[in-house]
Amino acid sequence: MPVNTGRGGFLPLLTPRHPREQSCVPLDTAACETIGRRGRVDRQSEKGPRRFPADRVAEQTEVVLKAWGLAPDLAAVTTAAMIDTDLAGIDSHGISMLPTYEPGHGPTTIDFSARPAVTARTGVTARVDGGGGLGHPCAVLAMRTAIEIARESAVGVVAAHNSNHFGAVGHYAAMAAEAGLIGIVTTTARSISVLPARGAVPRLGTNPLAFAAPTGNGRPFLLDMSTSTVAVNKVKVYDLNDRPVPPGWVLDGSGEPVTDAGEAMAYLRQRPEGGITALGGTAEMSAHKGYGLAVMVQILAGALTGATFPPLREPGAPDDIGHLFLVIDPAAVRGGDGFTADVDVIVDTLHATPPADPELPVLVAGEPEDRTREERGRLGIPIPERLLDQLRDLCERAGAPFLLG
């Protein structure tokens, strides 16, 4: 059976000789900086990317989405998700995604006239059809439905299919935590970019997952991670900023590291061989575990939802990305409000851990993004010049005003 490479071609389905054997980490492209062992900042450029107020970046995003035909209410929820991501420092999934989404120019097959709908609801489960539209509105509808079901029945499980890229998976898990519930979200991916452990040719997407739980201080514990060493769009951000990628993120077809960001993007977008490593990176660092997690997500968000397995997608067919949303009401499981109190004890105990470096205190998932969100709320969202050029051209083609001049 031929296998879709996701890069404009098909390959024979290869049987591995030894069958066995992606995180949204905040990346401040504003400073184009690396943080040394003692937390000191080394800037690659004194000037760095220009910063813009979040409301202006949001306005730019929304006018473009509307110009492409997205309904105003759907454009609003999509913009909210994308800007929240930019504010959190996950530059790979915010406004930088517009060139990828662009009709007729990006690689996706998004129907901007589509509206997601709940097509079935039975017991504690529901099904959402994204209609081939942008993934953000589909995901918001699915998570709201899962929250509603969980409030009624303690648990809500919603499967979404016929969708597209929906940005950072943690945005939707956080919706559950903000409602006082536990949220777990997984999604398949459009891009075939991740190498199976021991593989020379990619077969999987970055297949991210997120877990969010409410706490007593109002800031949820929020784990948002790809099951690969890095997300494709983070490599893209490094390329936009002319930064080399760390060894081990991307390998060529012979298993050798690729560190030039432009060359890495060529492996991820054009060449049939090579790709991103599964979480762990190498066999010695237990890449088979990340590979196993990626397959787990593919089963939950792909097989369980009925979405297409990317290597078997026909040329020109809709991306048909699948998402799975699981919401649990902790009060219904254990009664009372003891859950958040216990979560606070866990977090406080971890915070009290003596740090290996006094200048780098122990944090928990979600806290680096909270710090970046506060900083960018004050200083603005950084946008690299290359991305600004792309957005300027994109606005001209869409007939939308360019607001970031």
- Residue 210 pLDDT: 99
Kindly tell me if the per-residue pLDDT of 3 is higher than 80: no
> In angstroms, rounded to a whole number, what is the distance separating the alpha carbons of residues 248 and 252?
10
Kindly tell me if the per-residue pLDDT of 230 is higher than 50: yes
Contact of 151 with 69, CB cutoff 8 Å = no
Kindly tell me if the per-residue pLDDT of 33 is higher than 80: no
pLDDT band, residue 257 (cuts 50/70/90): very high
Kindly tell me if the per-residue pLDDT of 330 is higher than 80: yes
The whole model's pTM is what? 0.86
Contact of 184 with 156, CB cutoff 8 Å = no
Q: Which residues pair with 319 in a beta bridge?
A: none
pLDDT band, residue 237 (cuts 50/70/90): confident
Q: Are strands 50-52 and 381-383 parallel, antiparallel or unpaired?
A: antiparallel
Compute the mean pLDDT over every residue in the chain, rounded to the nearest whole number. Answer: 89
Contact of 159 with 127, CB cutoff 8 Å = yes
Percent of the chain whose pLDDT exceeds 70 = 88
Q: Residue 165: how many CB atoms within 10 A of its CB?
A: 22
Q: Which residue has the higher pLDDT, 19 or 329?
A: 329
For the stretch 131-169, pLDDT in tens is 999 999 999 999 999 999 999 999 999 999 999 999 999
Q: Which of 306, 304, 261, 298 is nearest to 278 (CA)?
A: 298
Kindly tell me if the per-residue pLDDT of 27 is higher than 60: no
Contact of 85 with 171, CB cutoff 8 Å = yes
Instruction: Give the Cα-Cα-Cα angle 257, 259, 265 (nearest 5 degrees).
Output: 100
Q: Are strands 209-213 and 182-187 parallel, antiparallel or unpaired?
A: antiparallel
pLDDT band, residue 46 (cuts 50/70/90): low
* Token pair recorded at residue 372: 């970046």
Kindly tell me if the per-residue pLDDT of 315 is higher than 60: yes
pLDDT band, residue 4 (cuts 50/70/90): low
- Residue 218 pLDDT: 85
For the stretch 165-210, pLDDT in tens is 999 999 999 999 999 999 999 999 998 999 999 999 999 999 999 9
- Residue 11 pLDDT: 39
The domains of the chain, with CATH numbers, are: 2-12+126-349+364-369 (3.30.1370.60)
Rounded average pLDDT over 60-78? 98
Q: In degrees rounded to 5, what are phi and psi of residue 321?
A: -75, 145
Contact of 147 with 119, CB cutoff 8 Å = no
Q: How far is CA 251 from the centre of its chain?
A: 21
- Residue 35 pLDDT: 28
- Residue 171 pLDDT: 98
Kindly tell me if the per-residue pLDDT of 241 is higher than 80: yes
pLDDT band, residue 10 (cuts 50/70/90): very low
Kindly tell me if the per-residue pLDDT of 32 is higher than 50: no
Rounded average pLDDT over 353-377? 97
Most confident range, picked from 38-52, 166-180, 253-267, 326-340: 166-180
Distances, alpha carbon 21 to alpha carbons 52, 175, 188, 290, 400, in Å: 45, 34, 20, 10, 48
Return the minimum-mean-pLDDT range out of 30-44, 51-65, 175-189. 30-44
pLDDT band, residue 39 (cuts 50/70/90): very low
- Residue 19 pLDDT: 25
- Residue 22 pLDDT: 32
Residue entry with tokens 């995901």: 139
- Residue 263 pLDDT: 95
- Residue 194 pLDDT: 96
Length of the chain equals 405
* Contact partners, residue 233, CB within 8 Å, separation at least 6: 92, 93, 96, 97, 100
Q: Residue 293: how many CB atoms within 10 A of its CB?
A: 21
> In angstroms, rounded to a whole number, what is the distance separating the alpha carbons of residues 239 and 260?
8
Rounded average pLDDT over 290-315? 96
* Token pair recorded at residue 295: 């397959």
- Residue 161 pLDDT: 98
